[in-house]
């Protein structure tokens, strides 16, 4: 049974402070869906909460909690908090949206950054499902949305840029969600799920990742160097703002547009949701030429068609 009408439902969203998480919260709240969100930035969540309350019909609840999705105890505590705050034993929608970049090289990079990225992007999804599955089971119908990426089927940012932690995590999210579809069909058939694979979406993931990783990593400074900007001449805040602006403002699709595609996909009962024309083109190209996917020629052919110009 698909969740087609969001009014009067309860949605849980991780990473609700910015980007697609914020836009999902705003779109759902405006339809009369009560929203519980978590993020590691209380300030960002406060702004999302303000926007949601302004857009939501009377009686729609919005609740925020600071929680790190990589820490299972914090996610379990958040689930208990949602039960109390909403005085409920059920939710209807779970969006495991939180993610960061970093830890690009398994070979030459720092292990701490690698594991931080993997733990947020993959175990954040696992912890979210485990924490909220009992509440989803209690609903008449429920739906889980796990955010993977185009890097869940193309494990690179181009031949010169290792992207191992993020790509490994996003491949794992895709595989877990596909396996979960069968698991739910057998053991909780009133719950369905989707895997979301966005292309380049206008979010603040570049700068947010730098802050969460505790510094400006070499991989995340790459885009500045390709523009002839020496990161050593700028403060960390300046680099973060430049990286955010470049990634966000050059994206072919905004976070709000991406949120609409995702919610439309949920309404339609789609289990596989590609977000953005670049994601669709890349998916077709990888399927057509898997043996060439990690060559410079493969990227060149995509760029010749106007896709991924910044890689």
Query: 241-257, pLDDT tens digit by residue?
Result: 776 676 777 788 999 99
Q: What is the pLDDT of residue 94?
A: 98
Q: What is the pLDDT of residue 47?
A: 97
Q: What is the pLDDT of residue 13?
A: 98
Shortest CA distance to 91 belongs to which of 187, 12, 184? 12
Residue 274 pLDDT > 80, yes or no?
A: yes
Split at pLDDT 50, 70, 90, the class of 204 is confident
Which residues, at least 6 apart from 247, have a Cβ–Cβ distance to it below 8 Å? 200, 202, 203, 204, 205, 206, 223
Residue 174 pLDDT > 70, yes or no?
A: yes
Strands 34-39 and 62-66: parallel
Q: What is the pLDDT of residue 226?
A: 66
38-47, 144-153, 229-238, 301-310: segment of lowest average pLDDT: 229-238
Q: What is the pLDDT of residue 214?
A: 67
Q: What is the pLDDT of residue 243?
A: 67
| CA atoms of 123 and 104, how far apart (whole Å) | 18
Active site residues: 166
Edge-first strand order for the sheet with 93-96 is 62-66, 34-39, 10-14, 93-96, 142-147, 191-198, 272-275
Residue with tokens 């998916």: 283
The helix (H) or strand (E) run that includes residue 131 is helix 124-137
5-14, 48-57, 126-135, 229-238: segment of lowest average pLDDT: 229-238
Strands 10-14 and 93-96: parallel
Q: What is the pLDDT of residue 4?
A: 87
Which residues, at least 6 apart from 58, have a Cβ–Cβ distance to it below 8 Å? none
Whether this prediction's pTM lies above 0.85 is answered by yes
Counting beta carbons within 10 angstroms of the beta carbon of residue 254, is it exposed (0 to 12), middle (13 to 18) or buried (19 or more)? Answer: middle
Class of domain 10-203+251-304: alpha beta
- Report domain extents, the chain: 10-203+251-304
Give the pLDDT confidence of 69-109 residue by residue, as tens digits: 999 999 999 999 999 999 999 999 999 999 998 889 999 99
The helix (H) or strand (E) run that includes residue 22 is helix 19-30
> Which tokens sit at 56?
């939501």
78-87, 97-106, 204-213, 215-224: segment of lowest average pLDDT: 215-224
Strands 93-96 and 142-147: parallel
Split at pLDDT 50, 70, 90, the class of 206 is low
pLDDT, mean over the chain: 92
Q: What is the pLDDT of residue 236?
A: 72
For residues 172-190, average pLDDT: 98
Q: How many CB atoms lie within 10 A of CB 73?
A: 11
Q: What is the pLDDT of residue 167?
A: 97
| CA atoms of 60 and 68, how far apart (whole Å) | 25
Residue 219 pLDDT > 60, yes or no?
A: no
Residue 217 pLDDT > 70, yes or no?
A: no
Q: What is the pLDDT of residue 202?
A: 79
| CA atoms of 180 and 122, how far apart (whole Å) | 14
Shortest CA distance to 148 belongs to which of 21, 273, 2, 14? 273
Shortest CA distance to 133 belongs to which of 101, 180, 175? 180
Give the pLDDT confidence of 132-172 residue by residue, as tens digits: 999 999 999 999 999 999 999 999 999 988 999 999 999 99
Q: What is the pLDDT of residue 65?
A: 97
Q: What is the pLDDT of residue 86?
A: 98
Which is more confidently placed, 235 or 262? 262
Give the pLDDT confidence of 29-58 residue by residue, as tens digits: 999 999 999 999 999 999 999 999 999 999
């Amino acid at each position: 049974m698909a969740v087609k009408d969001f009014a009067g439902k309860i949605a849980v969203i991780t990473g609700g402070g910015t980007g697609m998480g914020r836009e999902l919260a705003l779109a759902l709240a405006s339809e009369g869906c009560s929203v519980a969100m978590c993020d590691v930035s209380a300030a960002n969540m406060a702004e999302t909460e303000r926007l949601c309350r302004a857009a939501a019909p009377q009686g729609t609840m919005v609740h925020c909690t600071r929680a790190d999705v990589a820490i299972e105890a914090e996610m379990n505590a958040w689930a208990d908090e949602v039960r109390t705050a909403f005085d409920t034993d059920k939710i209807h929608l779970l969006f495991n949206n939180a993610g960061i970049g970093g830890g690009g090289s398994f070979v030459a990079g720092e292990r701490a950054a690698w594991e931080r990225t993997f733990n947020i992007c993959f175990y954040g999804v696992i912890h979210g499902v485990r924490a909220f599955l009992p509440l989803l089971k209690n609903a008449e119908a429920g739906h889980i949305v796990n955010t993977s990426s185009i890097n869940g089927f193309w494990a690179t940012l181009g031949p010169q840029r290792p992207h191992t932690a993020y790509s490994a995590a996003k491949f794992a999210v895709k595989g877990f969600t596909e396996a979960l579809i069968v698991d739910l069909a057998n053991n909780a058939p009133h719950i369905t799920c989707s895997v979301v694979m966005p292309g380049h979406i206008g979010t603040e993931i570049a700068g947010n990742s730098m802050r969460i990783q505790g510094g400006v990593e070499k991989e995340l400074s790459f885009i500045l160097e390709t523009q002839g900007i020496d990161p050593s001449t700028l403060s960390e805040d300046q680099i973060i703002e430049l990286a955010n602006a470049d990634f966000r403002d050059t994206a072919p699709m905004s976070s709000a547009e991406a949120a609409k595609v995702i919610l439309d996909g949920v309404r339609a009962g789609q289990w596989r949701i590609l977000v953005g024309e670049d994601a669709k083109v890349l998916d077709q190209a990888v399927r057509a030429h898997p043996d060439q996917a990690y060559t410079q020629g493969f990227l060149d052919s995509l760029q010749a068609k106007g896709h991924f110009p910044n890689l």
